[in-house]
Chains A and B, each alone.
Chain A
Amino acid sequence: MHRFDFSITTCLLCGKCLDVCPVFNGTYIEEFSPRAKAFLLNKLNEIPLDLVKVKDILGKCVGCGRCGSVCPQNIDLVSMLSQIRASNPTLKKWAYSKAVEHLPGISRLLLHSLDTLDIIPFFKKYEGVWRIFSDQKQLNILKVQIRKPIEKREKAVIFSGCIGRYLKDSWSIKAHKIARLYFEVCEDMDWACCGYPFFFAGQLDKAKGNFEKNYNLWKKLHMPKIIVFCATCYFALKKQSRLIPDESKRKRWLDSIILLSDLFVGLKEYIHIDLHIKEFVLHKPCHMSDLSFDRLRSFFNTLNIKFSLNTNCCGFGGCTRVENPELCDMLGKSIWDKVGRDSVIVSGCSGCVLQFALTNPMSRSYHWLDLIDFI
């Protein structure tokens, strides 16, 4: 077992993170709070502590990053936990990383030969969910009718993310249709995963390797706009810009990444509503900026569609979902308990949509792309 070779000395113990941490607010267990984790890391080199127990506490994090967003000292606990995981690999995280890495193959197993799922207990546990999730009917309440292209054409490419690419290709198809209204859309590329699952699991080399592959593909296409419809993919692609040493290229990369919902909200004059659901719950993904979420919210407001908001974290948790499935299940279920188990939840992050499906298999958990229909 390696000792951890850094500590957080800047934490003020002010407790601002307590207000936003889904794990703390879901459990009322203070030792799982970001403040407690920061203090634990701070004392590691001063006090003899059992590292197995320390890792168990540090592992109670779903990687939402909300603590960092309110921290007056800008402590990025998620990145620190990622580095700790990197220096202390475990079998479960390895299995999780392999699962993400081989999602193309696994998705075929998930959707077509469920008997073989025994090899990965995590997937086996939720075996009924995958097909429901994949085959779920779309809502199609927003009918989009476009007569002419809206803006002048630049080149763009769609980044569907792993879930959009392998489990929900209907999202990719719709994303293409929307993007084509604004851009000349290139053919799909063989993108690697956005890297966030690897990053949080501490598989930093893999995260970096994926980024390099994606960055090179982008350069090969002469640096087009990259249209992303998963808030976490968008967050990860932007965050990884720090791996680009050249400042002008880094800026170009950052400018090129566009969240699809930011584009879509500009289409409201072309939309008719065919409302066959009473109302829905609009969920704010942790990795979607307040600005992008406000745009989506105002968009639905101006269409006079009835919806309520959920701003609590879904609790998907990345590799924590494999290591502490009970914790992630509890957090997801607590949202269903709050909004009502018969509700329709709409999100702009593929991970949230999957998490809501995993924690209420008979539920109606949707990406906002499921709401639209082109006529």
Chain B
Amino acid sequence: MKKKLNKGQEKFLLSLFGPQDVLFQREELLIYGTDASKEFAWPYAVVRPSKVEQIVELLKWADREGVPIIPRARATNVVGACVPVHGGIIVSTLKLNRILDIDEVDFVAEVEPGVVTAHLQQEVRKKGLFYPPDPASVNISTIGGNISQNAGGLSAVKYGVTKDYVLGMDVVLAGGRILSLGGRIRKDVVGLDLKSLMVGSEGTLGFFTHFTLKLLPLPESSVSILVGFPSLDELVFNAIALLKKGLIPSAMEFMDSGVIKCIKEIYPLDVSSKVDSLLLLKFDGNKRDIKYCVNELDKIFNDSSAIFWEKGVDPEKENELWEVRRMINPASHRLGDNKIALDICVPRSKIPYIVRVSKQIGEKYSVIVLCFGHLGDGNIHVNIMYSGGENQIGAIEVKKEILRHTIQVGGTISGEHGVGILKMDFMETQVGVHAKKIMKKIKKIFDPNNIMNPGKAY
């Protein structure tokens, strides 16, 4: 690690944050060089602000000195968005973690970036309200991180993704100016939509310090259903049939044959060998709607090729059905110590094709490929499992080929994880040279000296 801060710079950080909240020692810095992507680069220092004023002063100074700034909450992203590839100062948002207001009339919450998403959900639920975005990391990731990556989740098929719930935000720009965008208003067509530009910008445009989030009334009831099909084509056909009928689930997950096989290794999943693919659905709403929904689903699946379907109408049974989905991650690690986790998104009609192609590519390189995910959005989690170095080279080739096919069918290389550093190579192939240039120019307007999370996303 080359030391990149001089004594004067260190002194500045100490005076701004105090010795307890500035780190320079390698042993303390180590974890801040990585995230759930497992990539690593050394930061120069870590600071832990507890006030917005500190961030303003820091960004004034960093812009002047040309020191990179990397916002970091709990670093659960899997694309290396928090890895300081150009060095710089990691700014931890963990101490900016207050829920400032939950308004039962405006249906909004005002929060700081370090609030854990599940904690916000619990608090709003106490008031009969609902914050729907639910990425898999909902218990451990933060609102700030979710907004930076525009996180999706299971419920996106009905409720949309994180960006659909951001009504307003405060952003500190490089140089220290605070930009206040939006607010408690639900509609706003004045000027360009800079707030939406910020969501999913992976920390490259500014430092988020405050959010106003949209809330919904809490659904009264729910039902979950696990359905087994003889093929993925049949599963997709029937899933689209129920969407056409106006039955919009709050979660619509699928699991392919490989996933079923590996879950069976660690969990008593009692399904016949004829079942090739599983569809897991959840519907929420008022009790009358749920009752209607259950009747309609029975009709649809009775007339379909479904091999079985099992309903969970009480929370305990629902939880049991969803346990199958939760088993995917631990079960997958039986197939390899490491994995490359892709989150491609394709038009729904292309799901069977892309799953088939992904598996064929895996076979070509002798690597196991598992496919599951958010069928309703066409958002597929492709897990490329590998162990050891030789296997890793094959896995990387598999990743490249799958991403190429994804782009060819009109899909995206990332539906919800973001680009970070791990998908940068494919960014231009998807969006084109011109769009990428425009993105770079936009960044230059907000951050002329390129200090905000440089080397990421685009």
Binding site for B on A (CB under 8 A): 9-10, 12-16, 18-19, 28-31, 33, 35-36, 39-40, 43, 47, 49-50, 53-54, 56-57, 72-73
CB distance from B6 to the nearest CB of A (A): 22
Cβ of B38 and Cβ of A30 under 8 Å apart? no
Assembly CA distance A47 to B26 (angstroms):
10
The residue in chain A whose Cβ has the minimal distance to the Cβ of B119 is A19
For chain B, the bracket of interface size reads 20 to 34
Cβ of B31 and Cβ of A35 under 8 Å apart? yes
The residue in chain A whose Cβ has the minimal distance to the Cβ of B90 is A30
Known contacts A28-B94, A30-B92, A72-B333, A15 near B30 by CB under 8 Å: no
B38 surroundings in chain A (CB, below 8 A): 12-13
Cβ of A12 and Cβ of B31 under 8 Å apart? no
Cβ of B140 and Cβ of A39 under 8 Å apart? no
Decide yes or no whether B337 CB sits under 8 A from chain A. yes
A53 surroundings in chain B (CB, below 8 A): 25, 27-28
Pairs across A and B, CB under 8 Å, 12 listed? A13-B34, A14-B36, A15-B140, A16-B140, A28-B95, A39-B30, A39-B31, A49-B27, A50-B26, A53-B28, A57-B27, A72-B329
The residue in chain A whose Cβ has the minimal distance to the Cβ of B114 is A28
**Cβ contact of B76, chosen from A15, A28, A29, A50, cutoff 8 A:** A15
Cβ of B75 and Cβ of A15 under 8 Å apart? yes
Cβ of B31 and Cβ of A18 under 8 Å apart? no
Q: Would you list which residues of chain B between 305 and 346 have a CB under 8 Å from chain A?
A: 329-330, 333, 337
Decide yes or no whether B131 CB sits under 8 A from chain A. no
Cβ of A33 and Cβ of B140 under 8 Å apart? no
Cβ of A72 and Cβ of B330 under 8 Å apart? yes
Number of A-B pairs, beta carbon distance below 8 Å: 78
Decide yes or no whether B35 CB sits under 8 A from chain A. yes
Q: Mark B63-78, 1 if CB is under 8 A from A, else 0.
A: 0000000000011100
**Cβ contact of A40, chosen from B27, B114, B333, cutoff 8 A:** B27
B221 surroundings in chain A (CB, below 8 A): none
Q: Enumerate the 4 nearest inter-chain pairs by beta-carbon distance, A residue then B residue, closest first.
A: A36-B31, A28-B94, A53-B27, A15-B76
Cβ of A15 and Cβ of B36 under 8 Å apart? yes
Decide yes or no whether B121 CB sits under 8 A from chain A. no
A33 surroundings in chain B (CB, below 8 A): 31
Cβ of B329 and Cβ of A30 under 8 Å apart? no
B74 surroundings in chain A (CB, below 8 A): 15, 18, 30
Cβ of A43 and Cβ of B30 under 8 Å apart? yes
Known contacts A10-B337, A28-B94, A49 near B26 by CB under 8 Å: yes
Known contacts A57-B27, A72-B330, A18 near B140 by CB under 8 Å: yes
Assembly CA distance A16 to B141 (angstroms):
9
Assembly CA distance A14 to B136 (angstroms):
11
B329 surroundings in chain A (CB, below 8 A): 72
Which of A10, A19, A47, A56 has its CB near the most chain B CB atoms (within 10 A)?
A19
Cβ of B30 and Cβ of A13 under 8 Å apart? no
Which of B28, B75, B139 has its CB near the most chain A CB atoms (within 10 A)?
B28
